[in-house]
Structure 1
Amino acid sequence: MRSALLQVLVLAAVAYAVPSPRGAYVLHEKRAAEPRGWEARRLDADKVLPVRIGLKQQNMDQLQDVLVSVSHPSSESYGKHWTPQQVADFFAPSTESIDSVKEWLASNGFSADRIRVSPSKGWIEVNATVAEAEDLLNTEYHIYSHPSGHEQIGCESYSVPKHIQEHVDLIKPTVHFNHRVASFPSGLNKRKNPDLGSPWSLNGPKTLDQKVTIETNATNCDQFITPDCLRALYNIDDPPAYPQDGNSYGIVEFTPQAYVDTDLDKFFKNFSSSQIGQRPKLVSIDGGFVQTANRSFDFNGESNLDLEYAMALVGNQPVTLLQAGDLPMGASFDNWLDAVDASFCSFEGGDDPNQDGIYPDNVPGGYNGTESCGIVAPPHVVSISYSQDEYTVTPAYANRQCTEYGKLGLLGTTVLYSSGDYGVAGYGGSCLKGGQPDANGTQFSPAFPVSCPYVTAVGATQINPGSTTDDPESACEQVIYSGGGFSNIFGIPDYQSDAVAGYLKNSPPPYTAENYNNSGVVRAYPDLSANGANYVVAIEGGFNLVFGTSASSPVVGSIITLVNDARLSIGKGPVGFINPAIYSSDFSWVFNDITTGGNQGCGTPGFNATEGWDPVTGLGTPDYPSLLTAFLMLP
């Protein structure tokens, strides 16, 4: 009797301790911003959705520490970058997470043959009807229609059982509504609407509506920036005639943005004649190609700018063009990350179909090949002159992507993003109210992915009218304003905490929490800057003056590439993630401090450039010989 009763009590205790498959649900994600101009209706219950569950990765709490260990000048492990396998193994989700999610799916009626785990073990995929997905995630799915004819599927929020939440990063397709409506008459770039974020070529450089006549190297650098002006500004040496084997520099572009070969040659003829006929090395990501059907500043301005200056400044160093996306589908930040990091790819392309290109693309003219997953080793330096507003992504989505930049840093890659061209405002000068875009908003709108603490954010400066390359620059206030501010998602990284604390103490902005996140414990940007005004760019057979942080990022990328070449020449490795180094006291002397100008927006003067780090120009502009010396002194 006693034994039987004890056995019953034990079994009851075990049953009580094991969470019910349908246990208490908790909110996991809520849409970051409600779509404007879209009408919603309930989705048919029998429609099948490709549900993809991103599993929590192990050791995420150690990412900053291990990255700093290979990136900080005082670390004994400086420069000892990891292999891709080391990175994949260290962060792979645990067996417990995989098993817990599979058991949760099984308890909801999904048979084992319907559940698939990605090779990287980072994702679990199951095809589910809308009715099944709604029951699984305690949500309602809608189909959203736009007057343009475009549609997408999503939900406003979703929940998971409390005991499952610790094993899941995010689930797609759900709340990530970053669909872009086509802006071009041909219907290209159907995902690209500046109202909602994701890569967008028009959220890039600006140009004056006039051509400029230049047949030789310009000498008036306050009016016409050329490669020689940049060399004079930052004391950049002529590029090596014979660059080191193994060095690499990548520029990311998103189709239909593409360079024009005749424009490259026109630029080289005027500013670097030995490079006439030189072209970047094309890496096609998900059908990406250098399209020639559409030509204008909107289609060619970004790519021409990036490649003309990057190639001219590094000379014979090959430049890799990471061209992402086909014409009908397009691509996103996740797509280029898939291409350089196989561990990021999910089973059969587990990206967000509302944000990312999903391949194969079976529409006419689409890329019918397999998803580009780990097709190329990440270059030592990558520059990306595209962005979206931070409010357009959920924290889960942003953090998931941000960790991949940290992993690239562990591999020895420097990832540079331009900081934006609207000062403290978002795309097009939009501002927020209560965290949402509002025509009367006064809350500053930070950008993404530049706000990720594992990328290097590059702002813009200018040579003041009437000044020369020997005079101090100021923050860019011609046509564009250097993007900068404080994240609403990411916490402050250790490497930046002293600099930001010093700024808030010594130069406190005249704003409150109603305007920006003034807590002092969030990521701030940019990290550094370079000139972003009056670039002479060959476009459509002539020359235009172009403005933007879109120019600043590839210039800094060129400088870091030259530093890597010098390190490789003496048997050292690439510098990789540079932020812990440039914020350290070892590098306090390598930047030209920018102390004038601001980045107005949202009806305010914005922040001011001031002594030391500031959220307009960061640490300042690089002095190449000093930067080179500081990096050559490291292991």
Structure 2
Amino acid sequence: MLSLIPLLTLAALAAAQTISPSVQHAKRHHLPGGWSRVRRHEPDAVLPLRFGLTQPDVDMNTLEALLNDVSHPDSPNYGMHWAPARVAEHFAPSDEAVHAVTSWIKERGFAQERVRVSKTKGWVMLNASVAETEALLNTEYHVYAHEPSGKEHVACDEYQLPAHIVPHIQMIQPTIDFNAILGKRAASTSTHITLGQPGAGTVSPKLAATVSAIFSDLDNCHQQITPTCLRALYGISYLPIAAAKNSLGIVEYTPQAYRPTDLDMFFSEFDPTLVGARPELQSVDGGVVQNVTANFGFNGESNLDLEFAMTLVTAQQKVTLYQVGDLVMGASFNNLLDALDSTFCSFRGGDDPENDGIYPDPSGYQGKDCGTITPANVVSTSYGYNEADLSPAYTARQCAEYAKLGLMGVTVLYSSGDNGVAGNSGVCLNPDGTQTTAGKIFNPSFPSTCPFVTAVGATQVNPGASVTDPESACAQVIFSGGGFSNQFAMPDYQKGVVTSYLTTNPPPYASTIYNATNASRAFPDISANGANYVVAVDGEFGLVFGTSASTPVVGAMLTMVNDARLALGKSPIGFINPTIYSPAFRGAFNDITTGTNPGCGTVGFAAATGFDPVTGLGTPKFPKLVELWSQLK
């Protein structure tokens, strides 16, 4: 039953001082599909009002400028990353904002003891009745029903704020967004937070065949990719020097879990010195390496990531496993970001009940991890949503956090997807915004489209070719995810190369098929082999495909680059995009010029000389990357 609080009288509200005229702050123009309005909300029901205060410098242009200052090789401040305390201080709402909002609420008749401010100053909290809230925001609250699931939400269509308060408030919950749910949501009702669940629609590796015999020579890398093949392809030859100062972070979402016996099976074949070695577990929101269910759907991703990452960086280098979410609730990218940076926990209102695992979980993990994890220098994630799965407000909030991590010197990698220009599960967009396999509009992935992460695509050794021959875009089992964002503008570091690609290779599609504005973020940024990986899973070897494979391989190489810099007394490489797109790094990647990334009833985009939205800048030349980054400040 909903709790009750004393109502302010309408007379008291009317008597409150009006400091400035009210103006519309937000309005919803249509209901999400499947929802309908059923009734006015009860006037004495309590709403947990959360006023997300405006944080300075979180627009994309300002964030890019801040990042360029520490990440562009021509900047005098290159490598001078920010301490977490500086990040927290810089992005905290101003004292002026806190004072203005709390004073306004108190002037409207609310007692001082009812108004609270979070420790990070990110939001002002007030429990108010529906009647009080309607008077405060000049609106009406209704209850909405979702026919497919039977869930109910409470929301308003629009609301107003005094003009002098508008600059200080980013958002208010619950208002126009469907974030306040009446009754507890079952974890199984969300398609988004179940990142680790097999078949949840997120990026996952594809098992194509079992392996009866492993080829140990380089002549068969077109059939089987092993650590030896990858070393030959990209010139990887390195032993850590400053391993104690460094780590590669691999992210997995429960119930995805590695099997220790599989790791040892793989290590016995490819690096016996690693037998018995395990990643350092960092549990986030009750994350556990579960051993209840064992099959490729539950073990394939984690085994793949850890087997190749740990082998490539060698036994001397620590690998950190971020295991996110308990078995009951699950988790999302936001849960990991909460743990990596405490300023994110309440940023713009906190986690979204529809997309994120909400902790404490009464049936599972009893805490909430907020700023409890020190991020590794490189964090590799082989999971992703379709950009259309999430609202622009949600993706912008998350993208801003990746920029904060970049300021702190963290390299964040995401796989670009395995379905070419289509989304996860091969779905494409329809004109009304829905996603189906019959759709015709290209469906970009997220977080790959965030301009503050490095998106990794997939290549292949062509059938019958050798490791010394040029690779092509992956066209076996999976297709390298790539294209143009529908939500994020093109960052400065891409403008020259993307404009060149579009001028030289104009896509043969109508502007209704993809974002043809020539002003949106293109992806991926770089690629690595993603075909025919020999992986030990559930006691046998199999051939695995996916950007899920290429991403941790790139992460391993960048971790070794960091080692080389740290050994010289220099900083980690941090956010790499402004550097790898700069003229100084031309020639640091193997240009991929053949192949396409089909999807949505088309052949997709075409690989070409220079950057392309299939394989990005190409695959790493590891010795050249070590050389060039070692020369930077």
Partner of 1:10: none
Q: 1:448 aligns with which of 446, 449, 455?
A: 446
Please state whether the residue corresponding to 2:328 is helix, strand or coil.
coil
Deviation at 1:221, TM superposition (A): 1.2
CA contact (8 A) 1:247 1:380 kept: yes
Unaligned runs of 5+ in 2: 1-15
| Secondary structure, counterpart of 2:536 in structure 1 | strand
Q: CA offsets, 1:294-340, max 9 Å, x none?
A: 22212111111111111111112111111111111111111111111
Q: Distance in 2 between matches of 1:379 and 1:157?
A: 43
Deviates more, 1:48-57 or 1:526-535: 48-57
- For 1:465, give the aligned amino acid: P
| Counterparts in 2 of 1:274 and 1:411: CA distance versus 1, 3 Å | same
**Aligned equivalent of 1:4:** none
Aligned partner of 1:488 among 486, 489, 500: 486
Give the equivalent residue in structure 2 for 1:19. 20
Normalising by structure 1, we get a TM-score of 0.88
SS of structure 2 residue aligned to 1:436: coil
1:393 aligns with 2:394: no
Change in Cα spacing, 1:514 to 1:381, as seen in structure 2 (3 Å) is same
Alignment of 1:464-503 (within 5 A): 464-503=462-501
Give 1:54 shift. Answer: 2.4
Q: Is the 8 A contact 1:331 1:357 kept in 2?
A: yes
Contact kept in structure 2, 1:218 and 1:226, CA below 8 Å: no
SS of aligned partner of 2:484: strand
Match of 1:302 in 2: 301
Instruction: Tell me the distance in 1 between the aligned counterparts of 2:549 and 2:29.
Output: 35
* Higher alpha-carbon deviation: 288-297 or 340-349: 340-349
Distance 1:218 1:128, change over 3 A: farther
Offset at residue 433 of structure 1 (A): 2.4
SS of 2:52's equivalent in the other structure is: strand
Cα deviation digits, residues 168-227 of structure 1 (max 9, x gap): 333445666699xxxxxxx99625526x99676542233345422245646411111111
Q: Is the 8 A contact 2:222 2:464 kept in 1?
A: yes
2:531 to 530, 533, 557: 533
The verdict on how the C-alpha distance between 1:42 and 1:222 changes in structure 2, with shifts beyond 3 A counting, is farther
Rounded Cα–Cα distance in structure 1 between residues aligned with 2:166 and 2:430: 30
Structure 1: where are the runs of 5+ without partners?
1-14, 180-186
Query: Would you say 1:255 and 2:254 are equivalent positions?
Result: yes
**In structure 2, what residue type is equivalent to 1:71?**
S
Question: Aligned-pair RMSD on alpha carbons?
Answer: 2.9
The CA deviation at 1:63 is 1.9
Match of 1:9 in 2: none
Q: Is the 8 A contact 1:197 1:389 kept in 2?
A: no
Give matches, 1:39-438, under 5 Å: 41-42=38-39, 45=42, 47-61=45-59, 62-106=62-106, 110-129=110-129, 136=137, 138=139, 140-142=141-143, 144=145, 151=151, 153=153, 155=155, 158-161=158-161, 163=163, 164-172=165-173, 190=188, 192-193=190-191, 202=199, 203-208=202-207, 210-214=209-213, 217=216, 219=218, 220-240=220-240, 243-315=242-314, 316-346=316-346, 350-363=350-363, 366-369=364-367, 371-434=368-431, 436-438=433-435
CA distance in 1 between counterparts of 2:152 and 2:242 reads 48
Relative distance call for 1:262 and 1:126 in structure 2 (3 A) is farther
> What does 1:472-621 align with in structure 2 at a 5 Å threshold?
472-621=470-619
Distance 1:199 1:490, change over 3 A: farther
Instruction: Tell me the distance in 2 between the aligned counterparts of 1:429 and 1:86.
Output: 42
What's the CA shift for 1:288?
0.8
Whether the 8 Å CA contact 2:196–2:256 is kept in 1: the answer is no
CA change 1:290–1:175 in 2 (3 A) is farther
Q: Is the 8 A contact 2:52 2:347 kept in 1?
A: no
TM-superposed CA distance for 1:155, in Å, is 4.3
Contact kept in structure 1, 2:204 and 2:383, CA below 8 Å: no
CA–CA distance in structure 1, aligned partners of residues 435 and 48 of structure 2? 33
Task: Report the count of equivalent residues.
Answer: 604
Q: Would the alpha carbon gap of residues 350 and 48 (structure 1) be closer, same or farther in structure 2, given more than 3 Å must change?
A: farther
CA distance in 1, matches of 2:352, 2:266: 38
Q: 1:445 to 1:131 in 2, by over 3 A?
A: farther
How far 1:98 moved relative to its partner? 2.3
**CA spacing shift, 1:224–1:104, aligned 2, 3 Å:** farther
Give yes or no for contact 1:125–1:347 (8 Å, CA) kept in 2: no
